[in-house]
Amino acid sequence: MTHRSICLAVIASLAGVGCSFSTEQFTLGSPDTGVRDTGFADLGFGDAGARDVGTTDTGTFDTGALDTGAVDTGALDTGALDTGALDTGALDTGALDTGAVDAGNDVVDAGSADIGADVLPDVPVVMFCATSRPCPSDLVCDDGICAPACPSGQRACEGFCRAVQTDIANCGACNTVCAPGQDCRAGACTTICAAPTTNCSNVCRDLQADNNHCGLCGRACVGGTACVNGACACPAGQTVCGGVCTNLQTDATRCGACTNACAAGQLCANGVCVTTCTAGLTNCSGVCRNLQTDTASCGACGRVCTAPTGGTATCTASGCVLSCPTGRSNCSGVCVDLSADTANCGVCGQACLRTFEACLTGICCLRGATNCSGTCRTLSNDEANCGACGRACASGFTCRVGLCEPNFRVVSMGSTNCRTIDQMNVVGDDRGGIVANNSFVYYSGDLGTGRASSFDLSSFTLVTAAGSNYVDGMLTNVRDGVVYSLSTDGSRPFISTSLGAANFTTLLELNTTTLLPTGRRILLSAPIAFDPAAYGRYGVFSGYDRVVIYNGTRAFNITLPTGVVTDLGTVPVTSPCTCENWAYWGVAEFFADAVWLVYRQLPATGGTASNIVRVRVPDGLTQVVGSFTNLADMCSIAALPARARWYWHHEGPSQFSAFPSGEALGFCDASYAFTN
């Protein structure tokens, strides 16, 4: 019976039984040897001493009584500083000093680092670095300070990786905060402009009507032209002559044509040079004008019809008629869109007063909201308007990023009403991989994948033989029990040992009796990479209308049955018990507006006691779901709310079974909830 390594959670009596992970990660050394202190040696503020390279303190913990002596209240030490050589001796492993507090002439302790157990919570400490003073292996030197090694596009700010290209609190640089109404784009604080305006040098401009920014930022209308619908144009009845708008019907210097000038003493009437104005025209300061239609002398000489900005003016029956393009209104001489103008929202003069508000189809709402029948709604999380106005989420669903997400969480995984069977004679030694539905529970061993009744584990039968018929990528939709397999070629179930690096592109639906593809499949919206170098570190988490694939660093949510893939980011999944396969198996939850991953976690210290835990994506908050005295090498667990149970496999004696073969498949009571 082979194992890649030994579970840290199993005591020496279980030698040969364990979870599969690299032996270089863990050892079964003597108790409580502490983690080697690789930090700088108690340097303190201003201490420029050498780095502590002393040997590891492997002594036992000091369990002496606490120092209850009186506080030394002697006079303050005003002597000169001790400039003697630094203490570079070996680590002090003697008993703790239980005497009174010494307030005498203390020098800075530059000796070896104290690696005893922490009593107080860790507090981030600034560590300075240089070429001659490198950072610890998990940090990098950033401007003279040891900082986390952040992914590309991010920068360490006060100990946290920040996306300085988009983070409004760290825009372009740490602690550069964008003002209200601004967003961080490409590392610069940029004013957010509501449609139909455009950001021109951090000022919102209406490119459809702004004479200085017509159609494009900085394109000015000249020569009497005005910006109408994003283009510079002359008023009605005028023509551009030499870059200037000209009325060829009345201009004596350009009468009828740009190049035709009337002789001295002549007038231009209806585009013709004349000595006196013809009938219907009036001589207005040497220009023949039609007072019925002339916008420069409408109804009387010199009475000008002024077009609103972005609009037009005409003279009709000696009266000025001012017009705006369709969808715009004249507000104090400016054509505006009342559905989007923050200074004239809904009606002229009604302004959205706060900088973080926008005018949405005539009402002021917070930026990012939507006007749904006169009410501002945030479509990303409004369960009555999820993703679109009027699209309501059903009971038991939560609106998240505009999608109705089904609420599902494990309330408890217990150790009562359990049942186990020895699966050794059917599927052989453990391999890893488990799913369950109302009909069957499926598990993969070295001989292939078998199924048993999920009701009582009866009729355990080998379904697929070893070799080309492993179902290594099996998963299920907890809602309906449909069983799927990951696939890299769209036609065959994934077998982890049959190929090198590849991409998961498809979920193949499997027949629940034969585990053969039914022909129905779900195409993933984006590929998920399979890297053989991460073999054993992957996790497969089946959930309610979702499955999450974890590659040892990042989590990818696959929405069922649409196949939409969402990269959930990096997740610190700590100490999972791994299988003798490419992955371990757990449960995906969604509640409290977050995705959670449920898995069996190894204990931090030796012994058999361990927990089933959940970790929140992406921040890594971890909670205990169930505590147990002995789970052996359990690395595959599955949820079945319909039967109020959880199913599992392990090898070796546990609190549930002690079969001679050590191979146990079983279930116990569990409870689930479908609320947020």
Q: Which helix (DSSP H) or strand (DSSP E) does residue 583 occupy?
A: strand 583-591
Look at residue 69 and tell me whether its pLDDT is greater than 90.
Answer: no
At residue 561, the pLDDT reads 93
Are the CB atoms for 505 and 462 separated by under 8 Å? no
Q: Is residue 181 part of a domain?
A: yes
CA distance 467 to 114: 54
Q: Which of 10-24, 46-60, 224-238, 656-670 shows the highest mean pLDDT? A: 656-670
- The pairing of beta strand 403-406 with beta strand 397-400: antiparallel
Integer Rg of the chain from CA: 38
Are the CB atoms for 600 and 634 separated by under 8 Å? yes
At residue 466, the pLDDT reads 57
- Segment 513-542, tens digit of pLDDT: 999 999 999 999 999 999 988 999 999 999
- Segment 344-383, tens digit of pLDDT: 999 999 998 877 788 988 999 987 888 999 999 988 889 9
- HSE value, Cβ hemisphere, 13 Å, CA-based, for 308: 19
Lowest mean pLDDT among 119-128, 163-172, 614-623, 643-652: 119-128
422 pLDDT band, cuts 50/70/90, is: very high
- Segment 259-274, tens digit of pLDDT: 999 988 788 988 999 8
Look at residue 188 and tell me whether its pLDDT is greater than 80.
Answer: yes
Alpha carbon 147 to its chain's center: 22
Residue 579: CATH number of its domain = 2.115.10
- Segment 616-672, tens digit of pLDDT: 999 999 999 999 999 999 999 999 999 999 999 999 999 999 888 889 999 999 999
With a pLDDT cut of 90, the percent of the chain lying above it is 50
Look at residue 5 and tell me whether its pLDDT is greater than 70.
Answer: no
Residue burial 130-158, b: 16+ Cβ < 10 Å; e: rest: eeebebeeebbbbeebbbbebeeebbbbe
Which residue would you say has higher pLDDT here, 601 or 119? Answer: 601
Residues whose CB falls within 8 Å of the CB of residue 194, separated by 6 or more in sequence, listed in order: 204, 340, 342, 358, 359, 367
Neighbours of 106 (CB within 10 A): 9
At residue 355, the pLDDT reads 74
Are the CB atoms for 429 and 445 separated by under 8 Å? yes
Token pair belonging to 71: 């506080």
Q: Is residue 413 part of a domain?
A: yes
CA distance 430 to 444: 7
At residue 246, the pLDDT reads 92
Our count of domains for the chain comes to 2
Lowest mean pLDDT among 96-105, 251-260, 322-331: 96-105
At residue 454, the pLDDT reads 97
Q: Is residue 264 part of a domain?
A: no
At residue 137, the pLDDT reads 64
CA distance 565 to 503: 13
CA distance 303 to 285: 13
Three-class HEC string of 453-499: ECCCCCCCEEEEECCCCCCCCEEECCCCCCEEEEECCCCCCCCCCCC
Q: Is residue 638 part of a domain?
A: yes
At residue 616, the pLDDT reads 96
Which residue would you say has higher pLDDT here, 317 or 157? Answer: 317
Q: Which residues pair with 198 in a beta bridge?
A: 205
Q: Is residue 657 part of a domain?
A: yes
Look at residue 35 and tell me whether its pLDDT is greater than 60.
Answer: no
Q: Is residue 392 part of a domain?
A: no
CA distance 637 to 543: 12
Which residue would you say has higher pLDDT here, 418 or 76? Answer: 418
Three-class HEC string of 14-81: HCCCCCCCCHHHCCCCCCCCCCCCCCCCCCCCCCCCCCCCCCCCCCCCCCCCCCCCCCCCCCCCCCCC
Q: Which of 133, 162, 191 is the last residue of a domain?
A: 191
Look at residue 101 and tell me whether its pLDDT is greater than 60.
Answer: no
- The pairing of beta strand 448-453 with beta strand 461-465: antiparallel
Q: Which helix (DSSP H) or strand (DSSP E) does residue 425 occupy?
A: helix 424-427
Q: Which of 175, 191, 207 is the last residue of a domain?
A: 191
CA distance 80 to 355: 59
The chain-wide mean pLDDT, for the chain, equals 81
Token pair belonging to 639: 């949820």
At residue 499, the pLDDT reads 67
Three-class HEC string of 629-640: CCCCCCCEEEEE
Q: Is residue 40 part of a domain?
A: no
Three-class HEC string of 520-531: EEEEEEEEEEEC
Which residue would you say has higher pLDDT here, 182 or 63? Answer: 182
119 pLDDT band, cuts 50/70/90, is: very low
Alpha carbon 281 to its chain's center: 72
Q: Which of 517, 470, 475, 516 is nearest to 497 (CA)?
A: 470
Backbone angles phi, psi at 424, to 5 degrees: -60, -45
CA distance 111 to 89: 7
Look at residue 603 and tell me whether its pLDDT is greater than 90.
Answer: no
- Segment 487-510, tens digit of pLDDT: 999 999 998 876 678 999 999 999
Q: Is residue 383 part of a domain?
A: no
CA distance 50 to 220: 66
Residues whose CB falls within 8 Å of the CB of residue 657, separated by 6 or more in sequence, listed in order: 420, 422, 664, 666
- Segment 295-340, tens digit of pLDDT: 999 999 999 999 999 899 999 999 999 999 999 999 999 999 999 8
- Segment 557-585, tens digit of pLDDT: 999 999 999 999 999 999 999 999 999 99
Rounded alpha-carbon distances, angstroms, from residue 341 to 182, 206, 350? 17, 10, 9
Residues whose CB falls within 8 Å of the CB of residue 445, separated by 6 or more in sequence, listed in order: 423, 424, 426, 427, 428, 429, 430, 431, 663
Q: Which of 191, 211, 231 is the last residue of a domain?
A: 191
Residue range of the domain that includes 171: 141-191
